[in-house]
Amino acid sequence: DQQVKQNSPSLSVQEGRISILNCDYTNSMFDYFLWYKKYPAEGPTFLISISSIKDKNEDGRFTVFLNKSAKHLSLHIVPSQPGDSAVYFCAASTGNQFYFGTGTSLTVIP
Amino acid sequence: DAGITQSPRHKVTETGTPVTLRCHQTENHRYMYWYRQDPGHGLRLIHYSYGVKDTDKGEVSDGYSVSRSKTEDFLLTLESATSSQTSVYFCAISRTGDTEAFFGQGTRLTVV
């Protein structure tokens, strides 16, 4: 059964606006959460992460929010740029394994 | 970029033949992983290694075996390839196993 879920297969956003990508998880033992970005024919690239002891982590235009009580993770991209168009995977770790969601394809419209 | 090289990058093979994919790292990371990516399934863990000769199964390990005889190399073997193993395979490495993992460029395998 999928322990990390991304329920939105795709998202379209206008350039300059905010992109919000969501992720839910079921395993309360996850202690580290990550977001990856993937372009076609390339490997996933690490974007940003957050430990379970925090509720927010920011890196430039990217912010990850963690709501442990809701078992929910989100990635905010502000402002969105056309180069952000890619598939985004969320992932969670228990200590030696990473579990990935199915991905959300983000399209940023110029 | 993390030093991870996967080979081959593309392979077409026939059903029933053995296939070995190689992952080579130059980062001296302890953990190495093999994932497969399929539409609708995201990235699913096949096997992983937490040290030389130390390996464990992931969620989709049936039909696959792995070996790690050196820190830098992690091999994935399909003993007898089937069409259901047509996929894109990614190797990943992690220094600690619970923080960031870094991925290779992937191997596209087609079993006909």
The mean pLDDT of A26-47, rounded to a whole number, is 94
Give the best residue of B98, B102, B108 to mutate against chain A (max A CB count within 10 A). B98
**Tens digit of pLDDT for each residue in A51-101?**
999 999 999 999 999 999 999 999 999 999 999 999 999 999 987 889 999
Nearest-Cα distance to chain B for A2, in Å, is 9
Q: Which residues of B touch A42 (CB under 8 A)?
A: 105-106
Under an 8 A CB cutoff, do B42 and A49 touch?
A: no
Residue A76's nearest CA partner among A102, A105, A56 is: A56
Cα distances (angstroms) measured from residue A51 to each of A47, A95, B92, B102:
14, 12, 20, 17
Under an 8 A CB cutoff, do A42 and B43 touch?
A: no
Q: Are B5 and B90 in contact (CB under 8 A)?
A: no
**Alpha-carbon gap, residue A87 to A9, rounded angstroms:** 9
Q: Are A77 and A84 in contact (CB under 8 A)?
A: yes
The predicted structure's pLDDT at residue B2 = 63
Instruction: Report the residue from B58, B98, B106 with minimal CB separation from A43.
Output: B106
Q: Are A4 and A92 in contact (CB under 8 A)?
A: yes
The predicted structure's pLDDT at residue A2 = 83
Under an 8 A CB cutoff, do A43 and B105 touch?
A: yes
Average pLDDT, whole number, for chain A?
Answer: 95
Q: Is the pLDDT of residue B35 over 70?
A: yes
Q: How many residues would you count in chain B?
A: 112
Nearest-Cα distance to chain B for A38, in Å, is 10
Under an 8 A CB cutoff, do B101 and A43 touch?
A: no
pLDDT greater at residue B45 or residue B2: B45
Q: Are B35 and B26 in contact (CB under 8 A)?
A: no
